[in-house]
């Protein structure tokens, strides 16, 4: 691949605009997201040796945090909903 082809491929795959939501989150919210993903990864790599309750937890997490669904966006929406609720009360 030429350098131009590589740049085109990376640009097509990596969209910086998807990360604009990070500017609206706190460090704590980002930390929680990373922590959840690390836990899910660790569970996936050890799936065959997991106890049944951890397999169930992993299944629930995989449905909640499937590829393409950012929990960062959900966290941001929930935070703004909480703020709206507290302001209304």
At residue 55, the pLDDT reads: 85
d(CA 45, CA 40): 9
- Which pLDDT belongs to residue 59? 80
- Reported as a pLDDT band with limits 50, 70 and 90, residue 62 is confident
Q: Is the pLDDT of residue 53 over 60?
A: yes
The residue-averaged pLDDT of 36-61 equals: 83
- Residue 30: which residues within 8 A CB-CB, separation 6 or more? 22, 72
Name the pLDDT band for 28 (thresholds 50, 70, 90): very high
For residue 57, give the nearest of 76, 31, 78, 36 by alpha carbon: 36
Please report the pLDDT score of residue 11 as a whole number.
83
Please report the pLDDT score of residue 70 as a whole number: 54
The more confident residue out of 28 and 42 is: 28
Residues recorded for the chain: 89
Please, what is the average pLDDT of the chain? 75
Residue 57 CA to residue 15 CA, distance in Å, equals 31
């Amino acid at each position: 691949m030429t350098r131009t082809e590589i740049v085109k491929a990376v640009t097509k795959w990596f969209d910086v605009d998807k990360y604009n939501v990070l500017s609206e989150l706190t460090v704590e919210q980002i930390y929680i997201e990373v922590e959840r993903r690390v836990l899910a990864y660790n569970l996936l790599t050890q799936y065959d040796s997991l106890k049944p309750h951890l397999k169930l937890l992993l299944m629930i997490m995989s449905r909640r945090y499937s590829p393409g669904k950012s929990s960062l966006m959900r966290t941001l929406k929930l935070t703004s909903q909480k703020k709206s609720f507290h302001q209304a009360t």
